[in-house]
A and B are shown apart, each in its own frame.
Chain A
Amino acid sequence: MSGPPLHEPDFALHVEDLTVAYEGKPVLWDIDLDIPPGVMAAIIGPNGAGKSTLLKTVLGVLRPTAGHIRVHGAPPRQRLRRIAYVPQRSAVDWDFPTSVLDVVMMGRYGHLGWLRWPGRRERERAFAALEQVGLTDLAGRQINQLSGGQQQRVFLARALVQEADVYFLDEPLAGVDATTERTIVQLLQQLRDAGKTLIVVHHDLQTVRDYFDWLVILNVRVAAQGPLGSVYTAENLRRAYGGKIALIERAATAPDTPERPLDGPR
């Protein structure tokens, strides 16, 4: 296939004309999406807007009807080493017989190759990651003894040891305590400052402005995308969330959030 260079390899995530149909119903309609490297991007939208579907399609779990996806200029399958994924906490059985440290080391499996077992190097990296999320004390703990917030931090630590460039996180702040939320957000911001890209499915309109600097509002189509300041407007939110006005009024028209564009946290 030749032609002009259509896909900007400069983008961390470049999605073009993506349509995903799931069991006959289209979940995403011809969406175009660009996320530059080095930002902390939130994907928000009402329930059933296709947020998780988008993530799963990027990771190759779902196959699109049409359209293509590039991560740093190549199909995601060729970029597996540069992608880290944090699934929703509820995606796994936390009674599985394994330890915190072990789960974190799973992040190295992709780098380890088929037959090699994780060794001391992997363990050291895992410990370092646990230190970053503040869970070194629990390294040996069986995972069913963790609180929800701790589980989330373990997942984050696992993503950290992947040493990726693009991080996809599916609702990492859902149902976690305030301490965990703070820890996670700080960590994510550190990663961003180190030049990594974070793409976060987020549910809480209240905190979007405080944490993120890039915003994608999704509702089957992309309602708006861009730097947070120019995108986070009541108008855009209303377009995506439709009837659920009350929520938006509170979020976007609170005293410190006038209709005009807002400054990002940067």
Chain B
Amino acid sequence: MIWSIAWKNVWRNRKRSLIVIASVMLGTTAGVFTTGLIIGWVDQRVKVVIHTEDAHIKIHSPAYLSNEEISNTIQQSDAIAHYLDKMPEVKAYSKRIKLMTMAATSRGNTALLLQGIDVMKEKQVSELYTQIIPNGGNFFENAGSYPIVISEKSAEQLRIKSFQLSESKIDSLQKADVPGDVLAKLNPILNIRYNTKNLFRKDVEKYLSKKEISNYGFAINKASEHFRLRSKIVFTLTDKQGELISQSFRVCGIFHTSNSMFDQLNAFVLQKDLAQLAGMGPNEFHEIGVLLHDNEATKSVQQDIKKHFPQASVLNWMELAPDAGIITQYMDLYNYIIMGFILFALAFGIINTMLMAVLERTKELGMLMAIGMNHKRVFNMIMLETVFLTLVGAVAGMLLGWIVIEISSRTGLDFSSVGEGFEAMGWPAIVYPRITFNYFVGITLLVIATGILASIIPARKALKLNPVEAIRTDN
């Protein structure tokens, strides 16, 4: 019955209790939402790491890791491939040649890591081919000779990207609800090609007001992007013999991932082209990327491959992308620490409220102790009341937090305004928050623990009461 008493006591002073409940609710919602946000972010990053950058496992020759020389190819790559074919956990694998090169167009240059791939196999392992930008060509569909797929960032650096408004672009903007009069103002710059985003923007700023730019600028910018597909890029590289070779490739497609560092570095060409240029044999590869059916099988498959091919270096995605690996490891802890922090801040208010509740009831408590309620029961009564008080707010907060997460996970949360900063570190700018059930369990446990700890001070105060003095009436 102590449970019943404690629960009913919570509602004795409705106003006061509601203040605490409201604050606990707010804090819990904040904590739940933050957790959902972080999990969503990590989800995205891991997904990108596994499905675009690193696959689950990568195999190299150990020499290649310390010295990316062209000759450090994987030993027994054939045997490894056969073994992978037979493993049920393996969904697909892709063999790659990798070469560091210098890329140049008449207007710009940059260093690029060329990856010579088998297109079909690569599509099974990496989702990069889905990230070709609109109007950005395709992923080796209509090859031609020496095709290459580069990133949007590389296209900018090589000045293959330009900005231009055409009639059709204006039409598409109108369809996207940009007002006709605003678009009409842009007539003077129709069909003029700008080489850089800034040059384009400067001219746009001449004709549009600040407000119009803040409302429609992004859309106008995006629509005016123009990629000179089929442009030539000249690549300089050292082949297996140490000779300097030059070859021009034609841009076939342009991609954009959420990881600028990846984008800046990588470009993709046909394996046969690169092998032939570099003078490499048919079974010489620098890297094998392996995709599994199930994320959880990563470590066991890694050990398995290592056991059978001890001379090869076998790394999993957590080792290859330590930023994602570490965060995944520590994410739970991090989330609980945030929640714990919030609960700590809330504890002050809870303690104060319960103290007041105890002090208001000295006579009642004295009576209870007089008729035989022992210390343990008194403590439990107060502890339960504190826990209930806190739980009501926490449950309401978890519910609200869950609702907010559900809603925001449909549309995703857009951090594009600081997006470049995130993408520079490899993290996506649009997040889909998500939370799992065990977090709610964990938070509930934390809340209960907070309630118990917070009840110590008021409970001690109650236990120190002397029944004789407490029930003394003044007459």
Chain B associates with chain A: no
